[in-house]
Amino acid sequence: MTPAAKVVICNRCNKQYSVAKYAAIIRCTECKVIIPGPASVELGHQIRHALSKTKSTLHQSFGNGGNSGEAHGMKRALLCGVTYRDKTYSLKGTVNDVKRMKVLLMQRFGYRRDCIRILTETGSESDFSPTKKNIQESLKWLVEGSESGDSLVFYFSGHGLRQPDFNDDEKDGFDETICPVDFMQEGMILDNEINSTIVRPLKKGITLHAIVDACHSGTVLDLEDIWIDNKPPSKADKSTSGGLAICLSACGDDEMASDTSAFTGKDMTGAMTFILIHVVENVPEITYGSLLDQMHEVIEQVNYKRCLTVPCLRILLGHRKIENPMLSSSQEFPVYSKKFLL
């Protein structure tokens, strides 16, 4: 073994490999599992250091807090994690993302297990696979029968794409989409459909949060955003029926999201999902503005202060930096005084 080489061990079959210290990930030749390389582990140390500094700052600013508010109505959530198993474009961290989001909703925000619908490829029941049909039907289930005081969450971790807009309702000329597991056969789900299914029906007093950890997800809810001019040229009505829709997306419409094993050391996870959950778990009483600021701060430290001088981040993320999450809303609200409550 050369002085620059490092030993890594497969977590499943314990086979040892001697690899270069700048290797991000390798695939075990025996069991085909993905193994984090030395560069991934090093980046994980850097990110955890950045998160620990953020945690200290947050507690000094906000204190320990308590449970993030009491429920005043029904709480219902739809969590979709699409792996695209056995495909060349498969993703490794989406199921982990869904598991972490489920724990956050139940333990921090009081969601009942029977009010959370999960669509992943891990089970044997076809009704709970993230197919286009199942996602469409589940989006309808999410808002069905909702009344004033209810809180709804739509979470998606998977691929997001863009396609030309033929309805003249996108300023940039592209519709944003999410990709079901069968999108190559059945097609993608467009932002127009997501808007008409879960945004337009929202009545007064109902709050919907969409958290989308996917590429090109900035305006995936097609909201007439009050912070940026996103009104459709066609003047189509994209507003709610009096309710509040808030979207936290992993990146802008023309940007790519990231997933990496660096955060946990062994499990792949979405970058935005991991940072979001970490900050919220440590400071329950955080506001929307402070949450976004702290997420941006962690990402800035990882992207610039600690990784520009070494190749690990660029290798691990495919020459991409982690993009800053985006916040959009159907109604204006004071982001630095309104608490982040799901």
User: Active-site positions?
Assistant: 159, 215
Euclidean distance between CA atoms 238 and 85, whole angstroms: 34
Euclidean distance between CA atoms 266 and 277, whole angstroms: 18
| Cα of 321 vs its chain's centroid, Å | 16
Whether the Cβ atoms of residue 100 and residue 211 lie closer than 8 Å to each other: no
Across the chain, the runs of DSSP E, i.e. the strands, are 5-9, 16-20, 25-27, 34-36, 75-81, 116-119, 151-157, 160-164, 174-178, 189-190, 207-213, 244-249, 259-260, 269-270, 326-329
- Paired tokens of 281: 């778990």
Whether the Cβ atoms of residue 8 and residue 16 lie closer than 8 Å to each other: yes
Whether the Cβ atoms of residue 71 and residue 79 lie closer than 8 Å to each other: no
Q: What is the per-residue DSSP string for 77-143?
A: EEEEE---TTSTT--SSHHHHHHHHHHHHHHHH---GGGEEEE-SSSS-GGGS--HHHHHHHHHHHH
Across 258-340, the runs of DSSP E, i.e. the strands, are 259-260, 269-270, 326-329
Residue 34's CB is within 10 A of a number of other CB atoms, namely 17
Phi, psi angles (nearest 5°) of residue 326: -120, 140
Q: What is the per-residue DSSP string for 36-47?
A: E-HHHHHHHHHH
In angstroms, the Cα distances linking 118 to 16, 261, 285, 318 are 36, 23, 27, 29
